[in-house]
Amino acid sequence: MTLQRTALVVALALLAAACSTAHWTAEYDAMRANPRDYFNLLTPTLAADARVDGGSVTLKLGQAVVVRLDEDPAQGERWQLQPIPAATISAPVQHDFVARGGSDPTSPGPGDAVFRFRGIAPGTQPVVLEYKRPFETVASKTIRFDLVVR
């Protein structure tokens, strides 16, 4: 019985090695075919603004898009990302507020809400951004677009 277990373990180890070698070989071939594309050296970050509303942004796998929207926190409204479906194709979103040059840093004035998305899996994902106060249920502005990753 010990000899059978040993033979089974060796067979499974060889099978696992063959599978991982095949995967590694395919990755290596893809890298050799176009190394600049493989390492995303030719995929710059895309920029978008409110004109993306109703359209779509197409990214290569690993590529990023930065969406900048006018925001004035002094008015009380802020851009908020609506929840993204669980089967997501983008990496966690980073959201920052960037004040405009010459504004007083101690009192919030006009600036840009900046959202960053990175494509991590092929597919299409709807994105909804709403401009509203935290306690409001209805947004004064809404921007919808599809994020497509290929």
Q: In CATH, what number is assigned to the domain containing residue 56?
A: 2.60.40.2020
Give residue for tokens 């919808």: 144
Q: Which domain holds residue 140?
A: 46-149
pLDDT band for position 8 (cuts 50, 70, 90) = low
Residue 16 DSSP SS3: helix
b vs e for 67-96, b when ≥16 Cβ sit within 10 Å of the residue's Cβ?
Answer: bbbebeeeeebbbbeeebeeeebbeeeeee
Predicted confidence (pLDDT) per residue in 103-147, tens digit: 666 666 788 999 998 888 999 999 999 999 989 999 999 999 999
Instruction: Identify whether residues 29 and 89 lie together within a single domain.
Output: no
Q: In terms of DSSP bridges, do strands 46-48 and 64-71 run parallel, antiparallel, or are they unpaired?
A: parallel
What contacts 4, CB < 8 A, 6 or more positions away? Answer: none
Measured CA to CA, the distance from residue 78 to residue 111 in angstroms comes to 11
Instruction: Identify whether residues 27 and 74 lie together within a single domain.
Output: no
Supply angle C-alpha 104, 106, 110, rounded to 5: 50
Predicted confidence (pLDDT) per residue in 52-74, tens digit: 999 999 998 888 899 999 998 88
Q: How many domains does the chain have?
A: 2
Give residue for tokens 């499974």: 12
- As a whole number, the mean pLDDT across the chain is 79
Q: Tokens in use for 123?
A: 């597919």
Measured CA to CA, the distance from residue 34 to residue 79 in angstroms comes to 39
Asked if residue 40 is part of any domain, the answer here is no
Instruction: Identify whether residues 51 and 74 lie together within a single domain.
Output: yes
Asked if residue 108 is part of any domain, the answer here is yes
Residue 110 DSSP SS3: coil
Confidence (pTM): 0.67
Instruction: Identify whether residues 111 and 133 lie together within a single domain.
Output: yes
